[in-house]
Amino acid sequence: MVQITINGKQIEAPEGTTVLRAAQMAGIHIPTLCDHKELVPYGGCRLCIVDVEKWRVPMASCTLPVSNGMVVNTETEAIKKSREFILSMLFSERNHFCPFCQVSGGDCELQNAAYHEEMTYWPIQPGWNKFAVDTTHPYFILDNNRCILCRRCVRACGELVGNFTLAAAERGAASMIVADTDVPLGESTCIKCGTCVQVCPTGALIDRTSAYQGPNAEFTEIKSVCAGCSVGCATKLIIRNNRIVRIEGDWDGAINHGLLCEHGRYDPMNESRTRITTPQMRKNGKLEPVSWEEALGAVADKLRPLAGGKNGVAAIASTRLPVETLAMFKELFVGNFKSELVTSTEEGMPTAAVTSFAEKNGAFEGKLDVLRTADTVLCIGANINRNHMVAGFMFKRNLPKGTRLINIDPEISELDYLANSTLKNKRGSDMALIKGLQAIIVKEGLGRSPLDIPDADGLIKKAIGATGVSREELTQAAQTLARSISPVILFGKGITAQRDEKLVEELYRLAVLVGAVDSERNGLLSIKGEANSLAATLLGLDEAFNLNGQQAVYVAIGDDYASKSLVERVSKAPYLAVQASYESSLTEKADVVLPVTIWSEQDGHYLNLDGHMQSTQKAITAPENVRDNMAVLSEVAMRMNMTMKSDWKTSVLERKSSVALN
């Protein structure tokens, strides 16, 4: 601890802290602009200057480490004057028209800083130079007229997202925020995560959906969790009049620390499917609106005689549904109906092999956080640049700092361009490849723990033959992995969809061999799939959905998309009941359609890929005649005289999880 005095107040601050952070911890406000708590201190705007006794010039407090006995003053006349001058320079550099600016009136950090100095005018008028407005991005607008060059966007895009799209071109007053080599944002390498918009302190980056909808003070904010994938990023829903105007990443989120990807931030804002707002039943070949009574009655009448019978009812639920809904679904169809085919829409592709390995061996996977400190990431069968992107951000940001990426995927993927080694093995050759890697490591004596491999040369030869990858490439990947200090092996659907527990086992052996898994850390992760992939497999809803003469099919698709293959399979069933939020080729085929809530309209829990159980609350009131997913299931149960009694929290613990739950 270090003793310092700020504005006469004695403060104890941890060594290495900056003066700014020390002041903030002590509740002393120092105006800032380029500082952001999630970004590396930059010292660019100079607004945070303070007076340090016995020092010759004012110092930027955001980059100034505390030292013992330091006497700091933040509100001297000279400092206040300097702050006003700094702000005057900023206002004169670009063009600020507060009366019609989206962020004016509370949401602009620049304006707020000027108010803090009680500035009633600009001592230096602007030069009336025109600056470009880039409107090419589908989700946001960059208005350089309002940019203060704080570079928070640039730093966030690099330091946090690891995408490095944004940069500042030129120098001094000619500096300009640009994408890539100064191409329009809409044509750039931007992956549309929106982090830059979330960190911009001014109206220079504004998003299309919430701009000019009112100041933040007029919105309500509800914490939620993204249902976009199994990463489970924490969000804040920004709501006005029962409508989400914007989704932000929650900086307090334990998993994502404020970050979101396009699917989390923008997909829900650009929903284009047609909502189903009334129950429907097929009459004379056509779907007609009916009452809930009629629709539920019809479903119950149809299903009642089929309960318990062989070839009775098959049921399938979306892994985007909350855990409690999935648990109830299971209880209804497995427990009560005794149906033989009850599963989830992912059919265990991302999880079944993982869970069956875990059932024999216990939890074997690590936590997502391990990616942040990985010095090598081996990505196998996981296109982390397209899905589960926020997990990708966790290491992509470190690639320029030397973290190595090995990408193994028969498909072309964006990750190939980032990877140090890219192994394009032939489809179906993963087992040979993994064993080949093990063999090379053992043969070269690079293993961190013993692994008995009798015929290493044979395995290597076999790997080269089966994969079509050259010996050099294979060796290089093996060496990179084995020589790293904190490697992580990340595997995805490319592996798990093969439904081969042995593949998981070999990956585990590889992880132990290279020290990705040891007694201290666990760097083996399966990326899974949708929001509740893990919960679905733990509930046993992970079988393949192979219809086999069932008389009726019940699909709880919720707000998810039904795959073409699912629609094909269920359209052959004699009777199809669907609970769905949106019209689709699936609901078109249904005999009964029950309109249900979407993710934002229901309470629920989500169990993310590394075992975090997170809850969401209803944020939006559903349309009049739409019912909660759970409520619909219990209505069906009630009409069948079935009692639902199990507790979802225990149901989800029935199988062994591949990752420790918390």
Residues of the shown chain interacting with ligand FES in the complex, contacts defined by CB under 6 A: 32-35, 43-48, 60, 62
CA distances from 480 to 410, 475, 476, 510 (A): 20, 8, 6, 13
In 3D, which of 197, 95, 94, 109 has the Cα closest to residue 153? Answer: 197
Binding-site partner at residue 166 among ligand FES, ligand SF4, other proteins, none, CB < 5 to 8 Å by type = ligand SF4
Please report whether residue 121 would count as binding other proteins according to CB under 8 A.
yes
The distance of closest approach from Cβ of residue 252 to ligand FES in the complex, given in angstroms and rounded to an integer, is 22
Q: What SS3 string covers 407-461?
A: EECCCCCCHHHHCCEEECCCCCCHHHHHHHHHHHHHHCCCCCCCCCCCCHHHHHH
Binding-site partner at residue 115 among ligand SF4, other proteins, ligand FES, none, CB < 5 to 8 Å by type = other proteins
Please report whether residue 178 would count as binding ligand SF4 according to CB under 6 A.
no
Contact 186, 76 (CB under 8 A): no
How many residues touch other proteins (CB under 8 A)? 19
Residue 383 CB-density burial (10 A; 0-12 exposed, 13-18 middle, 19+ buried): buried
The distance of closest approach from Cβ of residue 183 to ligand SF4 in the complex, given in angstroms and rounded to an integer, is 12
* Vertex 540: Cα angle to 538 and 541 (nearest 5): 110
The distance of closest approach from Cβ of residue 26 to ligand FES in the complex, given in angstroms and rounded to an integer, is 17
Considering only 27, 99, 285, 454, the residue that binds other proteins (CB under 8 A) is 99
Contact 315, 339 (CB under 8 A): yes
Please report whether residue 233 would count as binding ligand SF4 according to CB under 6 A.
yes
118: left (phi over 0), alpha (psi -120 to 50) or beta: left
Nearer CB in complex with ligand FES: 47/259: 47
Q: For 489, what's the count of Cα atoms within 13 Å in the CB-facing half-sphere?
A: 29
Please report whether residue 226 would count as binding ligand SF4 according to CB under 6 A.
yes
The distance of closest approach from Cβ of residue 386 to ligand SF4 in the complex, given in angstroms and rounded to an integer, is 11
Please report whether residue 98 would count as binding ligand SF4 according to CB under 6 A.
yes
Three-class secondary structure of residue 255 per DSSP: coil
CA 629 – CA 650 distance, rounded (Å): 20
Please give the residues from 498 up to 557 whose contact with other proteins meets the rule CB under 8 A: none
Please report whether residue 194 would count as binding ligand SF4 according to CB under 6 A.
yes
Residue 61 CB-density burial (10 A; 0-12 exposed, 13-18 middle, 19+ buried): buried
User: Which residues are 376's β-sheet partners?
Assistant: 404, 487
Considering only 46, 83, 96, 435, the residue that binds ligand SF4 (CB under 6 A) is 96
* Contact window for other proteins (CB under 8 A) among 90-98, 178-186, 382-390, 616-624: 90-98
The distance of closest approach from Cβ of residue 261 to other proteins in the complex, given in angstroms and rounded to an integer, is 34
Q: Enumerate residues 6+ apart whose C-beta is below 8 A from 30.
A: 19, 20, 23, 24, 48, 50, 61, 74
Q: Enumerate residues 6+ apart whose C-beta is below 8 A from 491.
A: 379, 380, 381, 382, 504, 507, 524, 525, 526, 527
Nearer CB in complex with ligand SF4: 144/373: 144
The alpha helices in 271-414, defined as continuous H runs, are 292-303, 323-330, 352-361, 389-396
CA distances from 661 to 177, 344, 495, 652 (A): 43, 21, 23, 10
Please give the residues from 334 up to 393 whose contact with ligand SF4 meets the rule CB under 6 A: 388-390
Please report whether residue 320 would count as binding ligand SF4 according to CB under 6 A.
no
Please report whether residue 190 would count as binding ligand SF4 according to CB under 6 A.
yes
Nearer CB in complex with ligand FES: 46/388: 46
Task: Report the b/e string of 224-255 with b at 16+ CB within 10 A.
Answer: bbbbbbbbbbbbbbbbeeeebbbbbbbbebeb
The distance of closest approach from Cβ of residue 44 to ligand FES in the complex, given in angstroms and rounded to an integer, is 5
Considering only 21, 246, 257, 263, the residue that binds ligand SF4 (CB under 6 A) is 263
Q: What is the CA radius of gyration of the chain?
A: 28
CA 482 – CA 187 distance, rounded (Å): 39
Please report whether residue 31 would count as binding ligand SF4 according to CB under 6 A.
no
Considering only 7, 24, 73, 104, the residue that binds other proteins (CB under 8 A) is 104
Considering only 115, 412, 565, 568, the residue that binds other proteins (CB under 8 A) is 115
Nearer CB in complex with ligand SF4: 41/264: 264
Please give the residues from 352 up to 411 whose contact with other proteins meets the rule CB under 8 A: none
Contact 367, 659 (CB under 8 A): yes
Please report whether residue 72 would count as binding ligand SF4 according to CB under 6 A.
no
Considering only 120, 272, 519, 662, the residue that binds other proteins (CB under 8 A) is 120
CA 227 – CA 560 distance, rounded (Å): 10
Considering only 260, 598, 607, 652, the residue that binds ligand SF4 (CB under 6 A) is 260
Nearer CB in complex with ligand SF4: 158/381: 158
Considering only 9, 55, 97, 544, the residue that binds other proteins (CB under 8 A) is 97
Please report whether residue 110 would count as binding ligand SF4 according to CB under 6 A.
yes
Binding-site partner at residue 151 among other proteins, ligand FES, ligand SF4, none, CB < 5 to 8 Å by type = ligand SF4
Please report whether residue 77 would count as binding other proteins according to CB under 8 A.
no
Distance between start and end Cα atoms, the chain: 33
User: Which residues are 239's β-sheet partners?
Assistant: 220, 244
Binding-site partner at residue 260 among ligand SF4, ligand FES, other proteins, none, CB < 5 to 8 Å by type = ligand SF4
Contact 241, 399 (CB under 8 A): no
Q: How far is CA 67 from the centre of its chain?
A: 39
Please report whether residue 472 would count as binding other proteins according to CB under 8 A.
no
Contacting residues toward other proteins, per CB under 8 A? 95, 97-101, 104-105, 111, 114-115, 118, 120-122, 125, 128-130
- Contact residues toward ligand SF4 (CB under 6 A) are 96-98, 101, 103-104, 108, 110-111, 146-153, 156-157, 161, 163, 165-166, 177, 190-196, 199-205, 226, 228-229, 231-233, 256, 260-261, 263-264, 388-390
